[in-house]
Amino acid sequence: MTVLPAEREDIELVTEDGLTLVGELALPASGRISATLITVHPLPTHGGFMDSHVLRKAAWRLPYLAEVAVIRFNTRGTSSPRGTSQGRFDEGVGEAADLRAAVQFAVDRGLPRRWLVGWSFGTEVALMHGADLDVEGAVLLSPPLRRATAPDLGTWARSGKPVTVLVPEFDDFLTPDRATAGFAPLSQARVIPVEGAKHLWVGEKYVRIVLDLLVGAVVPGATALPTVVPATAVVTPGDAS
């Protein structure tokens, strides 16, 4: 539950179909940005939202530890303590507009080296709708490959943009061997099995593994994240939003 310093701002994203989505931008306090993560949360009908723990901890830690900016937002119809985004859940179809709004926000704010980071349902949104957006590439956590199809992967393949796929050894939906076969159409995808992990990445051990691999994928020359910080750098969760 450690929260590290950052410049945090409540944001609103306006979609092309007129919805207002709520979210947060966390920027490095140093003013230097090595990469920007545009995160898309797990399935909202099964408890996913912008505060899903890996994404929340990315926003709490990475601006300080790696000078990485993090955008989190609730897709249409999704609620969290930050608030409720307008609209209704649309099985990953209408969420295309949500993703475009988030990327456009990052572009308009001049945030550099933009990457999509999807988790579970969020990977489907990224795969179906993200290849042609103004981003460097994508990092996918626990992709189920249920909604995204071979043509979607083919679009990413033609883009040439790098895609890193983190697959838990004991994932309930797509195990590493099936992921290797499933991502074959996306020729540049790098599938990384994570030993011992499950779909929800429960446990600090697996959060650290994900954040290390995530930063390694988006920041050239990145090394393992520190696991110790000065006590003066820690703020309380209530001060983090």
By percentage, how much of the chain surpasses pLDDT 90? Answer: 92
Answer yes or no: is 158 within a domain. Answer: yes
State the pTM of this model: 0.96
Domain containing 192 equals 7-239
Answer yes or no: is 1 within a domain. Answer: no
Q: For residues 214 and 231, what is the distance between their CA atoms, to the nearest angstrom?
A: 25
User: Which pLDDT does position 241 carry in this prediction?
Assistant: 43
Q: For residues 143 and 190, what is the distance between their CA atoms, to the nearest angstrom?
A: 13
Answer yes or no: is 220 within a domain. Answer: yes
Q: For residues 132 and 124, what is the distance between their CA atoms, to the nearest angstrom?
A: 15
What digits encode the pLDDT tens for the residues 167-224?
999 999 999 999 999 999 999 999 999 999 999 999 999 999 999 999 999 999 999 9
Q: How many CB atoms lie within 10 A of CB 196?
A: 11
Query: Mean pLDDT, to the nearest integer, of 8-33?
Result: 98
The DSSP bridge partners found for residue 115 are: 37, 137
Give Cα separations from 34 to 26, 121, 169 (angstroms).
13, 26, 30
Domain count of the fold of the chain: 1
Answer yes or no: is 211 within a domain. Answer: yes
Q: For residues 62 and 69, what is the distance between their CA atoms, to the nearest angstrom?
A: 7
CATH of the domain at 92: 3.40.50.1820
Using DSSP bridges, classify how beta strands 35-40 and 68-73 pair: parallel, antiparallel or unpaired.
parallel
